[in-house]
């Protein structure tokens, strides 16, 4: 699909990071954007800074009724929905046994169930019209999961598997789907845990959110099955798929021993 003045798009996690960059990009192209996140003040401030008229939809993505109400309100206010970007997500890194179970539950609720709720609410409308595009933001961690990110990686692998199957289910419906695999992107995803990030994590190599957003929109316009940024994420997925042991070796070179401490 071409993204332009006719496009009505919903972005979850629009207040910060990748979602915010997407909202800015979409608005710059003349799209009408539904801005979803919990923080209303940040969304109001963002909407006021964007060209055009947009819809602020404060909601908790981990609550199905809240998501459904937000999507319904967007469609009522704009007359339709062409693009759904299920982007909102959270991370809590640390050794599995030290991650509070409530944090693990929150990751599953927001990263996995939140994606299901968003896509389902959007598809209800798009399938009726037999057109539209869905974007699911997974992660490089959904291709090869990392130590100290076991639960986060599991949620992102769930997003990946969900999107892979759904893309085929949508065959012939007129609705398309793109899965996104970001590597490290410069956002506030880990701001709350700066002092306890694993050694393999390399924030200095992180890519600006604007580049990720541009790649996602180009992927939607080209109806790509997947978007990887940086491209090395794709290579890691391929190598891990062929030989996890080889991927471990590759990661030890690129990220040091903490990325793959076991040699057996
Ligand atoms: N940054 C990276 O390096 C990276 C790498 C791979 C994948 N990703 C994925 O990219 C996506 C975006 O992450 P980001 O890096 O842009 O993170 P971010 O800067 O922390 O932004 C996260 C956004 O999600 C929203 N959000 C969080 N919990 C929510 C909830 N319960 N309901 C509604 N909105 C919620 C936040 O707003 P509120 O807090 O106001 O709700 C915020 O707008 C995530 O799915 C993440 O897993 C990121």
| Atom number of ligand 1 nearest to Cα 182 | 6
Express each pLDDT in 147-190 by its tens digit: 999 999 999 999 999 999 999 999 999 999 999 999 999 999 99
Q: How far apart are CA 230 and CA 62, in angstroms?
A: 29
The whole-number average pLDDT for the span 115-120 is 98
Q: Whose CA is nearest to atom 43 of ligand 1?
A: 13
Q: State the distance from the centre of ligand 1 to the C-alpha of 158, rounded, in angstroms.
A: 16
Q: At 256, phi and psi to the nearest 5?
A: 90, 175
Pocket residues: Cβ below 6 A from ligand 1: 12-19, 37-39, 42, 60-62, 87-90, 110, 137, 139, 182, 184-185, 187-189
Q: State the distance from the centre of ligand 1 to the C-alpha of 32, rounded, in angstroms.
A: 21
CB 160 within 8 A of CB 113: no
Q: Whose CA is nearest to atom 25 of ligand 1?
A: 13
Q: Flag whether pLDDT at 113 surpasses 90.
A: yes
- What pLDDT is stored for residue 97 in this prediction? 98
- What pLDDT is stored for residue 40 in this prediction? 98
| Atom number of ligand 1 nearest to Cα 185 | 3
Q: How far apart are CA 230 and CA 130, in angstroms?
A: 33
The whole-number average pLDDT for the span 114-120 is 98
The whole-number average pLDDT for the span 212-230 is 98
Q: Flag whether pLDDT at 249 surpasses 90.
A: yes
Express each pLDDT in 32-50 by its tens digit: 999 999 999 999 999 999 9
Q: Whose CA is nearest to atom 33 of ligand 1?
A: 37
Active-site positions?
A: 152
Q: How far apart are CA 157 and CA 159, in angstroms?
A: 5
Q: State the distance from the centre of ligand 1 to the C-alpha of 216, rounded, in angstroms.
A: 15
Q: State the distance from the centre of ligand 1 to the C-alpha of 90, rounded, in angstroms.
A: 5
The whole-number average pLDDT for the span 115-121 is 98
Q: Whose CA is nearest to atom 37 of ligand 1?
A: 37
How would you class 58 by CB atoms within 10 Å of its CB: exposed for 0-12, middle for 13-18, buried for 19 or more? middle
Minimum mean pLDDT range among 7-11, 68-72, 171-175, 200-204: 200-204
Which residues have a Cβ under 8 Å from the Cβ of 154 and sit 6 or more positions away? 108, 145
Q: What proportions of the chain, in percent to the nearest 5, are helix, strand and coil?
A: 55, 15, 30
| Atom number of ligand 1 nearest to Cα 91 | 47
Per-residue pLDDT band at 205 (split at 50, 70, 90): confident
Q: Flag whether pLDDT at 140 surpasses 90.
A: yes
Q: State the distance from the centre of ligand 1 to the C-alpha of 89, rounded, in angstroms.
A: 4
Q: How far apart are CA 160 and CA 180, in angstroms?
A: 9
Q: Flag whether pLDDT at 256 surpasses 90.
A: yes
Q: For the chain, list the domains and their CATH numbers.
A: 8-231 (3.40.50.720)
Would the pTM count as exceeding 0.95? yes
């Amino acid at each position: 699909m071409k993204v332009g003045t006719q496009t009505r798009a919903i972005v979850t996690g629009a207040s910060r990071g990748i979602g915010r960059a997407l909202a800015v990009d979409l608005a710059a192209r003349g799209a009408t954007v539904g801005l979803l996140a919990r923080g209303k003040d940040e969304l109001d401030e963002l909407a006021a800074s964007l060209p055009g008229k947009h819809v602020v939809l404060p909601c908790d993505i981990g609550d199905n009724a809240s998501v459904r109400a937000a999507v319904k309100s967007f469609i009522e206010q704009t007359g339709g929905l062409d693009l759904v970007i299920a982007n909102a997500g959270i991370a809590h890194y640390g050794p599995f046994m030290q991650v509070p179970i409530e944090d693990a539950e929150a990751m599953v609720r927001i990263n996995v169930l939140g994606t299901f709720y968003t896509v389902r609410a959007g598809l209800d409308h798009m399938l009726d019209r037999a057109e539209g595009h869905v974007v699911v933001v997974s992660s490089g961690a959904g291709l090869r999961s990392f130590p100290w990110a076991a639960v986060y990686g599991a949620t992102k692998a769930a997003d990946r598997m969900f999107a892979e199957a759904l893309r085929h289910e949508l065959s012939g419906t007129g609705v398309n789907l793109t899965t996104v695999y970001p590597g490290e992107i410069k956002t506030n995803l880990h701001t709350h845990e700066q002092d306890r990030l694993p050694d393999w994590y390399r924030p200095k190599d992180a890519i600006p959110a604007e580049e990720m957003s541009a790649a996602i929109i180009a992927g939607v316009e080209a109806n790509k099955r997947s978007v990887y940024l940086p491209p090395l994420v794709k290579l890691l997925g391929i190598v891990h798929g062929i030989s996890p042991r080889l991927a471990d070796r590759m990661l030890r070179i690129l990220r040091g021993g903490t990325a793959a401490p076991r040699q057996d």
